[in-house]
C-alpha cells in the first residue's frame, strides 16, 4: 500500500532568506511565519502549506535558460492579467530574462535570488 503524502512545504535555496521571503510576501500576500529567522524563513498560507527560504553558503543563482547552474525549482503563479502582474513583480525586484518561450501565454521572471518562475494566464 502506498503511503499517503501531502505536500506541505516548498523550500527555495538562497543567500538571504528574509529578503526573499519579503519579496514573495509582497508578491503573494502570504503571511510570515513567526519562527522565521536569518537562516530559514517561511510564508504561511494558513492551511498547513508553507513556502520556505533556506540560507545556503556560496549560493549560486540559476542561469535560465542556460543550464550551467540549473534552475533548482520552478514555480508557476496563475494571474488574471499578465502585463499587470509582470509590471508589479518587476517593481518588487523580479527580473525578466531575455528568453521568453511564449509571452502571449506565460511570462518567465526571476525572483531576487535568481530562481525562475512563471506567470500563467488564468
d(CA 40, CA 48): 17
For residue 5, what pLDDT is reported? 55
**Single pTM value for the model:** 0.79
For residue 2, what pLDDT is reported? 63
For residue 50, what pLDDT is reported? 92
Mean of per-residue pLDDT scores for the chain: 90
d(CA 11, CA 21): 11
pLDDT (mean) for 68-76: 79
**Residue 83 is placed in which grid cell?**
502585463
Task: Name the band, by pLDDT with cuts 50, 70 and 90, for residue 74.
Answer: confident
pLDDT (mean) for 15-32: 96
| Residue tagged 525578466 (cell numbers) | 96
* 3-state per-residue secondary structure call for the chain: CCCCCCCCEEEEEECCHHHHHHHHHHHHCCEECCCCCCCEEEEECCCCCEEEEEECCCCCCCCCCCCCCCCCCCEEEEECCHHHHHHHHHHHCCECCCCCCCCCCEEEEECCCCCEEEEEEC
Task: Name the band, by pLDDT with cuts 50, 70 and 90, for residue 88.
Answer: very high
Percent of the chain with pLDDT over 70: 96
Among 74, 97, 71, which residue's Cα sits nearest to residue 86?
97
Amino acid at each position: 500500500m502506498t503511503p499517503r503524502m501531502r505536500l506541505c512545504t516548498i523550500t527555495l535555496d538562497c543567500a538571504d532568506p528574509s529578503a526573499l521571503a519579503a519579496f514573495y510576501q509582497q508578491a503573494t500576500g502570504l503571511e510570515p511565519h513567526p519562527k522565521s529567522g536569518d537562516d530559514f524563513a517561511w510564508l504561511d498560507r494558513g492551511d498547513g502549506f508553507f513556502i520556505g527560504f533556506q540560507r545556503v553558503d556560496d549560493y549560486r543563482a540559476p542561469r535560465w535558460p542556460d543550464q550551467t547552474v540549473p534552475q533548482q525549482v520552478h514555480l508557476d503563479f496563475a494571474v488574471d492579467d499578465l502585463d499587470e502582474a509582470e509590471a508589479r513583480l518587476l517593481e518588487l525586484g523580479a527580473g525578466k530574462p531575455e528568453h521568453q518561450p511564449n509571452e502571449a501565454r506565460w511570462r518567465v521572471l526571476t525572483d531576487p535570488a535568481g530562481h525562475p518562475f512563471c506567470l500563467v494566464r488564468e
